[in-house]
Amino acid sequence: MSHKIVRRPQVDDSHLPASLPPLLKQLYARRGVTETDCELVLTKLLRPETMKGLAEAAVLIADAMAASKSILIVGDFDADGATSTSVCMLALKMMGANKVDYLIPNRFDYGYGLSPEIVAVAYSKSADVLITVDNGISSIEGVAAAKLLGMQVVVTDHHLPGQSLPNADVIVNPNQSGCEFASKSIAGVGVAFYLMSALRAELRQRDWYKQHHINEPNLGTLLDIVALGTVADVVSLDANNRILVNAGLQRVRSGRCRVGITALLEVAKRNPDKIVAADFGFAVVATVKCSRTVR
pLDDT interval class at 60 (50, 70, 90) = very high
Distance from the Cα of residue 55 to its chain's centroid: 17
Length of the chain: 295
Percent of the chain scoring above 90 in pLDDT: 72
Q: Tell me: the pLDDT tens digits for 106-131?
A: 877 777 889 999 999 999 999 999 99
**What are the residue ranges spanned by the domains of the chain?**
48-217, 220-290
Which pLDDT value is given to residue 103?
96
pLDDT interval class at 96 (50, 70, 90) = very high
pLDDT interval class at 293 (50, 70, 90) = very low
Which pLDDT value is given to residue 138?
96
pTM: 0.90
| 17, pLDDT greater than 70 | yes
Which of 37-51, 60-74, 155-169, 195-209 is predicted least confidently? 37-51
Which pLDDT value is given to residue 164?
96
> Rounded to the nearest 10 degrees, what angle do helices 259-267 and 239-253 cross at?
80
Q: Determine the topology of domain 48-217 in CATH.
A: inorganic pyrophosphatase (n-terminal core) (3.90.1640)
Distance from the Cα of residue 229 to its chain's centroid: 7
H helical segments located in the chain:
22-30, 54-66, 79-94, 107-110, 116-124, 140-148, 188-205, 208-211, 223-232, 239-253, 259-267, 277-279, 285-294
Question: Residue 20 half-sphere exposure, CB side, CA atoms within 13 Å?
Answer: 19
* Neighbouring residues of 72: CB distance < 8 A, sequence distance ≥ 6: 100, 101, 102, 103, 122, 125, 127, 129, 130, 131
Sign of dihedral through CA atoms 158, 91, 148, 55?
A: negative
Q: What is the DSSP letter of 157?
A: -
Q: How many CB atoms lie within 10 A of CB 278?
A: 10
